[in-house]
Amino acid sequence: MKVDLTLKDVLEAKERIKDICVKTKLIYSPEFSRESGNEVYIKPENLQITGAFKLRGASNKISKLSDEQKQKGLIASSAGNHAQGVAYSAQKLGIKATIVMPETTPFIKVQSTKNYGANIVLKGKVYDEAYEEAKRLKEENGYTFVHPFNDVDVMAGQGTIALEIIDELKDVDAIIVPIGGGGLISGISVAAKSINPDIKIIGVQAEGANPMKISFDTGKLTYADKVDTIADGAAVKQPGDLTFEVIKEYVDEIVTVSDQELMEAVFVILEKHKLIAEATGAMSLAALKRLNFKGKKVVSLISGGNIDVVTIASLLNKGLFSRGRIFCFSVNLQDTPGQLLKIAQILAEEGANVIKLEHNQFKSVDRLKHVGLEVTVETNGYEHIEDIVKKLNDHGYDVHRVC
């Protein structure tokens, strides 16, 4: 099956959406460049009007609808970012929009979509269940369905990202793109490869939601029975058949990343660049460690930043531990005065900031002679932790890592 998507379609989409979407400028990342051994630039689509790239594809699709279709109204299914793109575009054009979202969608995405005037229907635990409900409502009410990825006009809109990247960084060697259903990477790969076939297009999926990688590796479109990842925006069990055909032809490689790597990427993005990315949005930065080349100019796309405060607080907390910025350990001390002071002095000399300390006589093998001490400290990373442990060992303390 040949998908009729060309560079011409993407160029026309660029003109069609220029007054709706903003051009997001590349940001050079010293931190990710150092860690990956490449020259890394961030494409911050989290700074798009609706907080994600999805506005591009939705606005291109909706702008092409007939007057009759616009009058009857639109319907879409989405975990959040496509929903906001459809809602915003529909509001700009005065069109009624209904959005079906999974019941697990973060509150911020539901509320933001409502704020753009859309009618919200919550259905199912994952995207695919919301999709089935949207199809039912489409037939029942005569709405036009705006697919989040498996649509040529949507792909063309997403492809405008590649035009902006190449316009700003003409000698880009590789573009790393998150994959859920495949619409984003389809548009980007067609545009980029049509301009310069030597640009490598690398897709990223979460380990717990990777049916497109399996499809790509086997050459056969494959669906997942279940998905399990913190990257809710890419938790798609059924990737598109149209996007699969494009990906087979234009994409060079697809890699996977773990949820822990996603949490670390979210943490580094916020700490080093003061940018907020949702877990799905951080996939392409987490994937930098998977690259099998060095010294190249690489663009990693932050696909979205719509994340609620509670979720980001949890991710950042876990990121602190996974990056070695928080260290929790226990030691047994002699049950004599001054032992706690010795530990405090060692930690002070090593520059470790004590966050929490629990001095518990009941956390030891022999509480008649020893007491248990559990300490949580703020550190500068794994090397700092090693220095702390060595110093404690040198003073005769047996350190047990708690977390």
Residue count of the chain: 403
The pLDDT value given to residue 233:
85
Q: How many domains does the chain have?
A: 3
What is the crossing angle of helices 152-168 and 7-17, to 10°? Answer: 80
Q: Which of 145, 178, 212 is where one domain is finished?
A: 145
Among candidates 257, 218, 262, 212, which has minimal Cα distance to 237? 212
pLDDT at 171 (0 to 100): 98
For residue 104, the model assigns a pLDDT of 84
Same domain as 116, residue 97: yes
Are 217 and 312 members of one domain? yes
Q: What are phi and psi of 272, to 5 degrees?
A: -90, -30
Catalytic residue among 54, 200, 213, 318: 54
Query: In the block, which residue shows the tokens 């548009």?
Result: 187
Residue 164 within a domain: yes
Whether residues 105 and 31 fall in one domain:
no
Alpha carbon of residue 332 to chain centroid: 42
> Based on the domain organization, do 67 and 36 belong to the same domain?
no
Domain interval for residue 263: 7-47+152-317
pLDDT of residue 20: 93
Domain boundary among 265, 295, 317: 317
Is 54 catalytic? The answer is yes
Are 185 and 128 in the same domain? no
Per the listing, tokens 């990257």 go with 231
Q: Are residues 307 and 169 in the same domain?
A: yes
pLDDT for res 106? 75
Same structural domain, 94 and 218? no
- pLDDT of amino acid 266: 94
Determine the pLDDT at residue 365.
52
One of 284, 303, 318, 364 is an active-site residue; which one? 303
- Rounded Cα distance, 57 and 62, in Å: 9
Residues 6+ away with beta carbon under 8 Å from 249: none
* 368 lies in some domain: yes
Q: Do 171 and 304 fall into the same domain?
A: yes
Are both 22 and 76 inside the same structural domain? no
In this structure, the strands spanning 97-101 and 174-178 are unpaired
- On whether residue 163 sits in a domain, the answer given is yes
In-domain check, residue 376: yes
Domain shared by 31 and 60, yes or no: no
**Residue 1 maps to a domain:** no
Is 375 among the domain residues? yes
Task: Choose the final residue of a domain: 145, 179, 212.
Answer: 145
Co-location of 84 and 177 in the same domain: no
CATH of residue 128: 3.40.50.1100
Q: Per the domain annotation, does 187 fall within a domain?
A: yes
Flag whether 2 is in a domain: no
- Same domain for 216 and 125, yes or no, is no
pLDDT along the chain (403 residues), means of 10: 92 96 97 97 97 96 94 90 93 94 83 92 86 94 94 98 98 98 97 98 97 97 93 89 97 97 93 94 96 97 89 81 86 82 89 84 56 88 90 90 83
Whether 274 sits among the annotated catalytic residues: the reply is no
